[in-house]
Amino acid sequence: MRFAPEKTAINRMGRDGNPKMTMPTRFLLEKGQPELFQRMQSCRRVLDFGAGKSFDAQLLVERCEFVEEGVSYDPYPREGFEDRANHLEGFFNLVICNFVLNVLETEEQRRAAAMEALFLVRPGGYAMFSVRSNTEINKKNYSRKISHDTFISKTTKEWYTVQKGYSEPELAAFIGGISSNGQVDQIPLHKRPSRDCTMVLFRKRLPSS
């Protein structure tokens, strides 16, 4: 039985047949830190890291004047989205990483994904991570564990998926702890999302002169 994180990707099409933005990206755009999308330097080039079935990168280009390019990337692409595993080129002003870290099986996988996402941020740019909250995971009452804080969320004869919850301090400490030489600073959000989601925003420091 294989670990299949791609199976956690959910449909992001609205009832009208058009793509809909994921909640964390919409929240960041409208309430969390809307100023990012009002300055060309903040988000000219956007990457959706671990995009799954979402179209957030493309929707941000359509809805935000200063977002010029949106790229969707997923190292574990779903069927029909295989092109999202293509090699990435260059760096990005904003990297969003929605519901990725919480569906990875091991601490090593989570660290590798977060480090890659941070690496792709241009100095002076931003990285936003969202995950399922501890509150949301605890409500599910999952009975089987991979480790002390990571639960098997679904299993079939061929594959299984996992979920791990984070509080805001836990997620902030995890991201801050893996950045080399304290290269990122947490940026407070104007408002907090609903209790089922944990979000943190970081800015990558400019090289010291």
- Cβ neighbours around 195 below 10 Å, total: 11
Work out the average pLDDT over 56-66. Answer: 95
Q: Is residue 171 part of a domain?
A: yes
pLDDT confidence of residue 18: 87
pLDDT confidence of residue 209: 42
CA distance 166 to 184: 19
Q: Is residue 54 part of a domain?
A: yes
Residues 154-192: pLDDT tens digits?
999 999 999 999 999 999 999 999 876 668 999 999 998
| CATH number reported for the structural domain that contains residue 109 in this entry | 3.40.50.150
Higher-confidence residue of 209 and 19: namely 19
Q: Is residue 1 part of a domain?
A: no
Whether pLDDT at 25 is above 50: yes
Q: Is residue 6 part of a domain?
A: no
Total tally of structural domains belonging to the chain = 1
Provide the pLDDT confidence category of residue 94 given band limits of 50, 70 and 90: very high
Cα–Cα distance list, 10 to 51, 54, 87, 163 (Å): 10, 8, 23, 14
Please check whether residue 43 is in contact with residue 49, taking contact to mean a CB–CB distance below 8 angstroms. Answer: no
Helices (H), the chain: 23-27, 40-43, 56-63, 107-119, 134-140, 168-178
Q: Is residue 122 part of a domain?
A: yes
pLDDT confidence of residue 123: 94
Q: Is residue 196 part of a domain?
A: yes
Work out the average pLDDT over 88-108. Answer: 95
Q: What does the mean pLDDT of the chain come to? A: 92
Domain containing residue 75: 24-133+166-204
pLDDT confidence of residue 46: 97
Q: Is residue 121 part of a domain?
A: yes
Name the DSSP class of 77: P
pLDDT confidence of residue 75: 86
pLDDT confidence of residue 150: 95
Residues 102-161: pLDDT tens digits?
999 999 999 999 999 999 999 999 999 999 999 999 999 999 999 989 999 999 999 999
- How long a stretch of residues is the chain? 209
Q: Is residue 15 part of a domain?
A: no
pLDDT confidence of residue 181: 63
Distance of CA 101 to the CA centre of its chain: 7
Residues contacting 209, CB < 8 A, separation 6+ = none
